Amino acid sequence: MNDREEKTTHFGYREVPAPEKAGLVREVFDSVAGSYDLMNDLMSLGVHRMWKREFVATSGVRQGDHVLDLAGGTGDIAVLLSKRVGASGRVVLSDINESMLAVGRQRLEDQGIVGNVSYSIANAEKLPFESGEFDAVTMAFGLRNVTRKDAALREMLRVLRPGGKALILEFSKVRQEPLKAIYDSWSFGVLPRLGKLVAGDEDSYRYLAESIRQHPPQEQLAQMMEDAGFEQVRFRNLTGGIVAIHSGIHA
């Protein structure tokens, strides 16, 4: 890595000093926290719920497992995980953004999910957990917002027990050209307008669309997981590669 890469990073299509990105991302999610769930439904026409159900259903998480949900935001994944781990298990819903985590906590409490879920403000690049503490670590639609993705992957590996699994659900590279054209038109034409109309924030949703295009494609992210120390790294595309599920094992 050269000096320029160490000092700067991308924030959407802008290049910014690396230390500033976390603060800029925090501002985005402070702005959208209150409308985040509604906007997810509108942005994906509800398909994000199917992706998340598939992500958890195929995770291998079992009753009694201890699971860390990174960048868990408003709690979609944590709700599903809490049902899988049962009363004998534990889910830690974590996020670096207090506004998002507050919405998630209120949402779970409103649904009566209180016994097996705890909450933590946590930076994915430097997690406040013991090594080998979790049976699984999940991260859905959060890795692309992390400044140092390699550091976050190493931290995911560290907090997993031997044999534990990391699972990442993230927007990826669309494979079919006709679908790609439609997807690009939706992302850059419709999405910012929806953000303006529904959330009163066009710029944040333009950033979110740009951040998707800046995220490493499937094969590159798989290589990054291997470089971080994961074994048996796999990925599986959903909806033509709009999103992909990556997994890796702490051997």
Question: CA 156, CA 69: separation in Å to the nearest integer?
Answer: 10
Q: Which domains does the chain have, with CATH numbers?
A: 3-175+206-249 (3.40.50.150)
Phi first, then psi, for residue 73 (nearest 5°) are 50, -120
Residues 69-102 pLDDT 10s: 999 989 999 999 999 999 999 999 999 999 999 9
Dist CA 205 CA 176 (whole Å): 24
d(CA 12, CA 159): 29
Q: pTM for the full model?
A: 0.89
Which residue would you say has higher pLDDT here, 35 or 171? 171
Asked if 232 and 249 touch (Cβ cutoff 8 Å), the reply is yes
pLDDT in tens, 102-149: 999 999 999 999 999 999 999 999 999 999 999 999 999 999 999 999
Residue 248 pLDDT > 90: yes
